[in-house]
Amino acid sequence: MIDWTKVITVEDKFAKAKEAKKAEIAQARYEAEISGVTINGVLIKTDRETQAVLTAACLQAYIDSGYSLNWKTGDGTFVSLLAEKIMAFGTAVRAHVQSCFDREAELLLLIEAATTHEEIDLIAW
């Protein structure tokens, strides 16, 4: 006797393909997000921890326009930053991170709109 509840339909395979592509895109977004950015020749890490530390530095720079700090760059050197530059770095990092999420959102819409496996296969970061 056949257990029809265990049959995998074409629709099931297609739904799984979409889910796999969504996971692939999310991973690509995360890797792009944490890849770092170069701002005025200075490599700035964009991992989640650095984003949080830079956000705190931006808040302090906003509160105190005379604030300055020594920032360790992505290549391990230090640069001295005044409040205005701290906020510029924070803004640039935030723009980088947001652009990664915006791209992911665009690609997820394409995945949802796909009607064939070929269309899904063509979607790439």
Residue 44 token pair: 């700035």
Q: Is 116 helix (H, G, I), strand (E, B) or coil?
A: coil
pLDDT at residue 98 is higher than 80: yes
So what's the pLDDT on residue 4?
73
Q: Is 8 helix (H, G, I), strand (E, B) or coil?
A: coil
> d(Cα 120, Cα 100) in Å, to the nearest integer?
20
Helices 83-113 & 48-63 angle (0-180, nearest 10): 140
Predicted TM-score (pTM) above 0.85: yes
Q: Each residue of 44-63: pLDDT tens digit?
A: 999 999 999 999 999 999 99
So what's the pLDDT on residue 83?
98
57 Cβ neighbours under 8 A, 6+ residues apart: 69, 71, 86, 90
So what's the pLDDT on residue 19?
98
